[in-house]
Amino acid sequence: MDLADPNPGTGSLPPVARLDSSAVEVDLSGLWSFRWHATVAEAPDDLPAASTKTWGQLPVPSSWVMPSHDAIFPGAHGSPAYTNVQYPFPIDPPYPPDDNPVGDYARTFELAESPERAELRFDGIEGAATVWLNGQRLGTTRGSRLPTTFEVTDAVRAGTNDLVVRVAQFSAASYLEDQDEWWLPGIVREVTLRIRPIGGVDDVFARTGYRSADGVGTLRVEALVHGGGAASVSLPELGITGVLDEDLVIPGVEPWSAEHPRLYDLVVATSSETVSLRIGFRSVSIDDGVLRVNGVPIMVRGVNRHEHHPDLGRTVPRELLEAELHLMKQHNINAIRTSHYPPHPDLLEATDRLGFYVIDECDIETHGFGMVEWRRNPSDEPLWLEAYLDRAARMVERDKNHPSIIIWSLGNEAGTGSNLAAMAQWIRGRDNSRPIHYEGDYDCEYVDLWSRMYASHAEVAAIGTRSEPPLADTALDAHRRAMPFMLCEYAHAMGTGPGGLTEYQDLFEAHDRLAGGFIWEWLEHGIRRADGSMAYGGDFGEVVHDGNFVIDGLVSADREPRPQLTDLKAVFAPVLIRVADDLTTVSVTSRYDFIDTSHLALEWVVASAAGVEASGVLAAQPVAARAVSVIELPEQCVTAASQPGRVVTVSARYRADSPWAPADHEVAWGQHSTVTDAPRGRVHSAPLDIGPVRLDPATGSLAAIGSVDIQNFRLELWRAPTDNDRGVAWTEDTLPAVAARWERLGLHRLVSRLVSIDRQDSSTTVTTRVGGAGRDELVELTCVWTARADETQLDVHVEPLGGPAEWARVGISFSLPGQCAEANWFGLGPGPAYPDTGEGARLGWHSGTVSELTVPNVRPQESGSRAGLRQLVLSGGAHGVEFSGAGFAATVRPWSTETLAAATHLEQLVSDGRTHVVLDFAQHGVGTAACGPGVLPAYRLVSGSHRASVTIAAVN
């Protein structure tokens, strides 16, 4: 195999659509014989006749480097490697490195008779493959996430057939596949033998449309029939019959949209074969700078989705794929960008059926050339033109019949150049029914909509009003200014965060030009090691890697939701619910683009500390798409909600089961509260120094609350840095990351000095000075402890004595003995919230164990803050402690902040036998600086005078 050839693979058939056929197909997935070689040079030249008796076994499809294969494959089989931008080999196109692992695959299969026609289809081989069948060399493959089909009529035979595949991990094609993910070679999608009938239907292109003006569907079916014969066309449900290449106008059809994914079965038949496909009548257009489906402006509430499995690598089983999509629908996600390659075809069948808008993205990324100023970038080198066009054709031809695909994307982060422009031209010539996307075309010369990554809120606001800075070329500027705008990536969901989701969505809703965007990204790419822990870049000994940047998702690698997914659900809610301040009405604003709210019931609940006080269902007419309705709350609700200490919640829930969620699934909610002062727990009186509080007379530090020992009471201005704290914000790229600025100030190594202890009759004032070791930016902390019956009020005053600085938080931290059995609180919950996150947290009475209050991030970091607290009770054994106030935050963990910051993997966090608490009166937001803008100004914590109060009690 010539691994330095930049051209497409050899010997394959022209690409066609994937169709459901009456013809026989033989699935060749399963355990294959497998052997591994460290380099191409070490691979013996014995194929295809090699004996496989000494080979091991490996499941197909899967990636051969995965640790999960250790149990069934003896010996070395390589290891995963993660890079984001940089290539793991020198940039010397088109040559791959000598350090190039090879995997040899083999299997046999039986056929009862020799078929008249046969094809062998590989849905995806990551790497560069050469294929033999019964000793005959069929050809080669390039394009890791694209199908390749070989004609095998002359090679296949009745009886036993021997199939052999050699895959090299790297080739010239690897320069086009520098996506932000693990390098995971292997046969990663299914292998199928297709028995093809004489006169069969080899390809179908169902060109559909919808005319919103008169509610008519349009259909033209083009097909490739073997031998050039005729074929019939029918839509049985509509009683429509026709022939190929006929323009049909069909009145009364229901249009397809992500909100109402109406599909019809199209049948194309010849005398020897019947194929069927599910089609949707829909149109995609750009009018007046607005992206429209069926003539209606749409709002994309999307995510970027890679294909990843922690045990199988690039292979995602069908049942898990379905579960992913159900989880997305449950969290109000309506769109997917297939970052950064065409997905498994099962995904598109499901997005058609369940209802998602899809950007189908070509398998092209040359991001690493950006590190050498795009010199010799394949996107602008004629040598690579055929490879670019080949990848475009294989994507479009396979996926052209899917109504969920509303946009074709040329690829991702591949610079600019003539080859991308040629792709766009070819796609328009083949399918002009969908606009073309490519984020890297900043001047929008060959795309149909303007796309950006991680633009700041200010930039998005300017674009929404068409007041963005002009391009130098006035014609191009006018061309781009007339386009819709989309954030193909934003709100980098890495670790704790992202912040600013609500502010982005508010901008999208405010300006028709803004079509919405896609969160980066759906799931983390952790790889499970033998001990069950999750690995990231560098954990497999890679010399070149990008660390935990691959751990950035709304769900874990096992598809467990992270807290930010709950926030996103609230931000993406298709209806907005607002309870009036006077508690007499509720307004319901529909953000659906097509359907009304007849599928939703509006339920109200009034709760107090004692539980549910009253509940019911609102009698309301459905709200039309993009309309607002004001509904009176019933007298029972108004009466109950008006009492002190009540929270009223109005929820929109499914009336009936849906394909992705059961009846009663909550879509959106709104709240109002009459809680002013948090109810107290039972107090335990004791003759302590200041109410239930005892101070250390030598240091003035808190020593005990009732019988509960307190240790390490101190001012806290630092937090264990989040991934976003460690990132250099695109909006502050002249400054170090905020975590580095905190470290420079020594916030992680604060040292205190007692200034004075002033004892009065009912209070004691303790003043200390605190600063980072080796720094002179001091802070004065004044704690006034006042006895009030069976509780103690703590008034805290923090005053900086130096120049302006930035802090991570303003709070007090301490630890309690043993592990608290439970935390109970009134405030936001049940999940965490920070100043610029927590949209999914609601006001109420919540409880949880300490382990439930922590977030199991693969790379440990600050997380788990519960905010908006009026009351917090921590209990363990017979005694506990209670804190109450006018709105504070609390983090409760079984390890210290220092331990959390020092850990690089989750399994390093082991309880030290105490419960560590931080009570926060102010916090810095989290932003999205791991990739994108920093914290919005409103959520930044600049040093200054801070005052807060909290009441402390001991409880039984």
Please state, in angstroms and as integers, the Cα–Cα distance from residue 700 to each residue in 222, 302, 766, 817, following that order.
Answer: 84, 53, 6, 20
**Number of Cα atoms under 13 Å in the Cβ half of residue 349:** 13
**Tokens (6 digits) for 268:** 């194309």
Per-residue buried b or exposed e for 940-951, using 16+ beta carbons within 10 Å of the residue's own CB:
bbebeebebebb
Q: Which of 273, 489, 524, 791 is catalytic?
A: 489
Bridge partner list, 772: 750
Q: Which of 119, 349, 413, 791 is catalytic?
A: 413
Length of the chain: 956
User: What single letter denotes the amino acid at residue 56?
Assistant: G
C-alpha–C-alpha distance, residues 149 and 168, integer Å: 19
**Tokens (6 digits) for 603:** 């339920």
C-alpha–C-alpha distance, residues 462 and 826, integer Å: 40
Instruction: Identify the three-state secondary structure at position 698.
Output: coil
Instruction: Identify the three-state secondary structure at position 463.
Output: helix
- DSSP 8-class letter at 529: -
SS3 sequence, 342-395?
CCCHHHHHHHHHHCCEEEEECCCECHHHHHHCCCCCHHHCHHHHHHHHHHHHHH
C-alpha–C-alpha distance, residues 670 and 649, integer Å: 6
413 an active-site residue? Answer: yes
Please state, in angstroms and as integers, the Cα–Cα distance from residue 128 to each residue in 3, 144, 177, 195, 544, following that order.
Answer: 7, 8, 12, 25, 22
C-alpha–C-alpha distance, residues 24 and 112, integer Å: 13
**DSSP track, 805-866:** -B-SEEEEEEEEES--SEEEEEEEESS---TT--TT-EEEEEEE-TGGGS---SS--S---E
Omega before 748 within 30 of 0, i.e. cis: no
**Number of Cα atoms under 13 Å in the Cβ half of residue 459:** 15
489 an active-site residue? Answer: yes
User: What single letter denotes the amino acid at residue 559?
Assistant: R
List, by residue number, the catalytic residues.
413, 489
